[in-house]
Homo-oligomer: A and B are copies of this chain.
């Protein structure tokens, strides 16, 4: 770590196409967003820079508003750092914004909420070649009323144990969902938008998988309420595939959770 006087904490907003990455987190022998970023930072800063991300996105998951904190020597301004990073990073990662942050700012621990979007292409095999990479291509019709009602059940504070990959018991499974709704942005598909204080492992993908099963009539819509209530004997739905999922925004103290999350970044 740098001595305090010589360091500047920076907050980066990153966008990445998750297709070519094994997720955010550095892993030996894998191409990950963190390893690409830290390897470019090492070249620029001539020292090791440790980065922290608000959301450790999984393999194949995208981001339009990932937030990353790191320390750089004070001779680097945020603007100069962003310019240098964008010149050197591979084209599937981009720094959309960079600002100087308070010394105690931490991308993950300072965050009070996160927003994810999940995109479903509803035109099946006729899906536009310009959109196919970033959605779950579902050829079957999904009744909007079922999806809308299902999404409403998630709003509020619940245990999401039935909507998460097992194995994170240390922090509990309570989440507070502020927003949960389906949108129809264009004729290519539909988008699920969810804002919550925290998300368990694969949680959005399990939520979407369950809502889609209800919309397809594979399981009763009432199962969502039962699963949230911890009813025994119910089987989890399969999680929706990662390529439809985007981390779109991270909220910090002072940010309004009611502000609409419109996103024209992705097709």
- What residues of chain A have their CB less than 8 Å away from a CB belonging to chain B? 15-17, 62, 64, 82-83, 86-87, 91-96, 124-132, 134, 186-188, 264-267
Contacts and interface: CB of A to CB of B under 8 A. Distances in A.
Contact of A129 (B92, B126, B128, B264): B92
A106 B150 CA distance: 49
Contacts of A82: 126
A126 B266 CA distance: 14
Contacts of A132: 91
Residue among A83, A94, A124, A188 facing the most chain B CB atoms (10 A cut-off): A94
29 contacts: A15-B128, A15-B129, A16-B129, A17-B129, A62-B130, A64-B128, A64-B130, A83-B125, A86-B126, A91-B127, A91-B129, A92-B129, A93-B129, A94-B125, A94-B127, A94-B128, A94-B129, A95-B126, A96-B126, A96-B128, A128-B265, A128-B266, A130-B265, A130-B267, A131-B267, A186-B264, A187-B264, A266-B267, A267-B267
B125 A87 contact: yes
Residue among A83, A186, A266, A267 facing the most chain B CB atoms (10 A cut-off): A267
A266 B131 CA distance: 8
A62 B131 CA distance: 13
Contacts of A186: 264
A105 B154 CA distance: 54
A17 B132 CA distance: 11
Given A186-B264, A264-B186, A267-B266, A134 B129 contact: no
